[in-house]
Structure 1
Amino acid sequence: MSTVEIRPVRSRRDLREFVELPYRLHATSPRWVPPLRLERRLFLSRRLNAFFKHGDAEYLLAVRGDRVVGRLSAHVDHAYNRYHDTSWGWFGFLEIEDDPEVLPALLDAAEAWLRGKGCDRMVGPADFTMNDESGVLYEGYDLDPMIKQPWHPPYVFARCEEAAGLDKAMDLWMWNLEVSDRSKMMPILFELADQVETKHGIRLRKMSRRSLRKDVDRFKEVYNSAWSRNWGFSPYDDKDLDQYAQELQLVFDKHWFMVTETAEGETVGVAITVPDVNQVLRQMNGRLLPLGWWKFLTKGRRIDRVRVGFLGVKPEFQHTGVAAKMYVEHFDMAEVRPQKGGEMGWILETNKAMNRAMEAMGGTIVKRYRVYERVWGAGSETGEDA
Structure 2
Amino acid sequence: MTVDVRPVASRRDRREFVELPFRLHSTSAQWVPPLRLERRLFLSRRLNAFFAHGEAREFLARRDGRVVGRVSAQIDRAYDEQHGDQTGMFGFLELEDDPDLAPALLGAARQWLAARGRTRMIGPMDYTMNDECGVLIEGFEREPMIKQPWHPAYYAARCEQAGLEKAVDLYMWELDISDREKILPVIFELAERAGSRHGITLRKMSRRRLRADLDVFGAVYNTAWKDNWGFVPYSEKDLDHYAQELQLVFDRNWFMVAEKEGEPVGIAITVPDVNQVLKRMGGRLLPLGWWHFLRKGRIIDRVRVGFLGIKPEFQHTGAAARFYVEHFDMATRTPQKWGEMGWILETNRAMNRGMEAMGGRIVKRFRVYEETF
Q: Which runs of 5+ in 2 are unaligned?
A: none
Matched, 1:332 2:329: yes
Could you tell me how far apart the structure 2 residues matched to 1:282 and 1:168 are?
31
Q: Output aligned runs, 1:261-276, within 5 Å.
A: 261-263=259-261, 265-276=262-273
Taking the aligned partners of 1:95 and 1:87, their CA distance within structure 2 comes to 25
**Displacement, 1:84?**
2.2
TM-score normalized by the length of structure 2: 0.99
| SS of the residue 1:371 aligns to | strand
Q: Secondary structure of 1:229's partner? A: coil
What displacement does 1:232 show? 1.2
Contact 2:82 2:231 in 1 (8 A): no
Among 301, 305, 310, the alignment partner of 2:302 is: 305
Distance 1:10 1:195 in 2: 59
- Say which SS state the counterpart of residue 332 (structure 2) adopts: helix
Shift in Å at residue 85 of structure 1? 2.5
Rounded to whole Å, the distance in 2 between the matches of 1:170 and 1:197 is 36
Aligned to 2:226: 228
CA contact (8 A) 2:90 2:123 kept: yes
Give the alignment partner of residue 178 of structure 1, picking from 164, 176, 179. Answer: 176
Q: Secondary structure at the match of 2:81?
A: helix
Determine the structure 1 residue equivalent to 2:205: 207
Q: Distance in 1 between matches of 2:244 and 2:49?
A: 12
How many residue pairs match? The answer is 373
Partner of 1:119: 118
The one-letter amino acid of 1:18's match is: F
CA RMSD of aligned residues (A): 0.7
Instruction: Identify which of 368, 372, 377 aligns with 2:369.
Output: 372
Deviation of 1:311 (Å): 0.3
User: Match of 1:28, as an amino acid?
Assistant: T
Amino acid corresponding to residue 206 of structure 1 in structure 2: K
TM-superposed deviation, 1:207: 0.3
Which of the numbers 277, 281, 285 marks the counterpart of 2:278?
281
Distance in 1 separating the partners of 2:119 and 2:259: 42
Q: Give the AA of the match of 1:26.
A: H
Deviation by residue 1:231-264 (Cα, 9 ceiling, x = unmatched): 011000000000000000000000000000111x
Name the CA distance, whole Å, in 2 between partners of 1:88 and 1:239: 23
Cα displacement string for residues 296-349 of structure 1 (whole angstroms, at most 9, x for unaligned residues)? 122011000000000011111010000000000000000000000000000000
1:336 counterpart SS class: coil
* Alpha-carbon distance between aligned partners in 2 of 1:289 and 1:335, rounded to the nearest angstrom: 35
* CA distance in structure 1 between the aligned counterparts of 2:54 and 2:80, rounded to whole angstroms: 10
Please name the residue that 1:246 is paired with.
Answer: 244
Matches for 1:1-386 after TM superposition, within 5 Å: 2-164=1-163, 166-263=164-261, 265-376=262-373
Residue 295 of structure 1, CA deviation? 0.9
The whole-number CA distance in structure 2 between the counterparts of 1:57 and 1:355 is 33
Aligned mates of 1:208, 1:202 — CA distance in 2: 19
* C-alpha distance in structure 1 between counterparts of 2:165 and 2:117, whole Å: 21
Give the superposition deviation at 1:181: 0.6
User: 1 CA distance for matches of 2:252 and 2:40?
Assistant: 28
The CA deviation string for residues 38-60 of structure 1, in whole angstroms up to 9 with x for no partner, is: 00000001111010000000000
Measure, in 1, the Cα distance between the counterparts of 2:116 and 2:255: 39
Residues 165-190 of structure 1, C-alpha deviations (whole Å, 9 max, x = no match): x1100000000000011111110110
The amino acid of 1:84's aligned partner reads H
C-alpha distance in 1, partners of 2:161/2:84? Answer: 30
Deviation at 1:157, TM superposition (A): 1.1
Paired residue type of 1:94: L
**CA distance in structure 2 between the aligned counterparts of 1:118 and 1:294, rounded to whole angstroms:** 49
Separation of aligned partners in 2, 1:116 and 1:160: 22
Indicate conservation of the 8 Å contact 2:172/2:344, yes or no.
yes
Deviations 1:6-60 (A, max 9, x none): 0000100000010000000011111100000000000001111010000000000
67-76 vs 291-300, which deviates more?
291-300
Measured after TM superposition, the shift of residue 87 of structure 1 is 2.0
Read off the aligned partner of 2:138 and give its amino acid letter.
Answer: E
Letter in 1 for 2:318: G
1:221, 1:267 within 8 Å by CA — same for their partners in 2?
no
Q: Displacement of 1:66 after TM fit?
A: 1.1
The unaligned stretches of length 5 or more in structure 1 are 377-386
Q: Is the 8 A contact 1:269 1:314 kept in 2?
A: yes
Find the residue that maps to 1:200 and give its secondary structure.
coil
